[in-house]
């Protein structure tokens, strides 16, 4: 009789273990074949660009705090997996961070920052410590959520505003001189570029995403193909790299405050509208499913239903 109970006991344990293994295999199989357990939902806003200064043209700098509070209220009322700010937290005064960063800390979902050109438009003595000031461990990184990979790039890698060593200055100058030689307008001082080392790092992240069958959204402050004098210095080189990987579904950016959208080579290029412009707010909730990128716009940001390739 005891032997019978032992046999039953081990039989049950075997079934439990087998069931667990089947569940794990099923989960792995679903991820492997691009079937996510649930949609990923993220908050997106960009170019808050706060400054305690009078408005200029269509930029209402002081209103950014009220718009940020409104955005905060909406995002915190939802169940978001993450929030991304696509660059330009402030306009030019380092003291502006004292008003913006405490609000950023109130977001309930994890907040991930993308560096913009205005983030570095502060006095030189404060620039080397900017990452520590805003709480960033790295200036470019990845965030994996379900079967989506978000790759955050640092467009200030090659810059006329952010600190540059001799190697990066030379690389920047070579690219910008080439742009001017070919009468391209994106070599403007308010733009930036991706250096060779970061480009190599990006390629490795894309190769890994391809192996793991992850869908990828690349994020950077600077656009690839929008208004010519706002594009990334080496926009064509970066797009050439991205277009070589079928895992890349979209590229999200800010910088050009009027916003834009293009579909090129199966990649959705979404330039989100700047929060600082006009008296109307601008932010979005983006839902990523197995076959779509659904953008719910608030304020002047439009809704979009984008099918992924």
The domain segmentation of the chain, as residue ranges, is 1-33, 38-307
Q: Which of 260, 303, 259 is nearest to 277 (CA)?
A: 259
- Residues with Cβ within 8 Å of residue 113, at least 6 apart in sequence: 84, 85, 87, 89, 134, 135, 136
Residue-level pLDDT at 181: 84
Reading the chain (309 residues) residue by residue, the pLDDT tens digits are 444 444 444 444 443 344 433 333 444 444 444 454 489 999 999 999 999 999 988 999 999 999 999 999 999 999 999 999 999 999 999 999 999 999 999 999 999 999 999 999 999 999 999 999 999 999 999 999 999 999 999 999 999 999 999 999 999 999 999 988 888 899 999 999 999 999 999 999 999 999 999 999 999 999 999 988 999 999 999 999 999 999 999 999 999 999 999 999 999 999 999 999 989 999 999 999 999 999 999 999 999 999 998
Q: What is the CATH number of domain 38-307?
A: 3.60.21.10
> Could you tell me which residues come within 8 angstroms of residue 235 by beta carbon, excluding any fewer than 6 positions away?
186, 222, 223, 224, 225
């Amino acid at each position: 009789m005891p032997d019978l109970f032992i046999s039953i006991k081990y039989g049950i344990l075997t079934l439990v273990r087998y069931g667990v293994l089947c569940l794990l295999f099923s989960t792995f199989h679903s991820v492997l074949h691009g079937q996510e357990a649930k949609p990923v939902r993220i908050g997106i806003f960009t170019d808050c660009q706060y400054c305690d200064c009078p408005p200029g043209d269509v930029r209402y700098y002081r209103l950014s705090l009220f718009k940020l509070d409104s955005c905060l209220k909406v995002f915190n009322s939802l169940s978001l997996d993450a929030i991304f700010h696509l660059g330009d937290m402030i306009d030019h005064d380092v003291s502006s961070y004292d008003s913006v960063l405490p609000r950023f800390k109130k977001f309930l979902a994890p907040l991930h920052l993308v560096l913009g050109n205005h983030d570095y438009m502060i006095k030189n003595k404060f620039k080397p410590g900017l990452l520590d000031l805003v709480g960033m461990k790295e200036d470019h990184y990845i965030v994996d959520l379900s079967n989506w990979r978000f790759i955050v790039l640092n467009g200030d890698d090659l810059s006329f505003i952010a600190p540059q060593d001799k190697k990066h200055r030379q690389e920047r100058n070579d690219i910008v001189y080439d742009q001017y030689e070919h009468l391209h307008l994106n070599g403007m001082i308010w733009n930036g570029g991706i250096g060779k080392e970061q480009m190599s790092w990006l390629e490795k992240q894309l190769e890994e995403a391809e192996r793991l069958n992850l869908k990828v959204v690349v994020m950077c402050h600077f656009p690839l193909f929008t208004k010519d004098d706002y594009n990334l210095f080496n926009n064509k080189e970066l797009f050439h790299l991205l277009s070589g990987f079928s895992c890349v579904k979209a590229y999200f950016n800010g910088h050009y405050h009027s916003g834009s959208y293009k579909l090129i080579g199966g990649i959705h290029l979404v330039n989100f509208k700047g929060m600082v412009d006009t008296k109307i707010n601008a932010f979005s909730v983006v839902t990523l499913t197995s076959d779509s990128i659904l953008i719910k716009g608030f304020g002047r940001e439009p809704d979009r239903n984008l099918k992924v390739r």
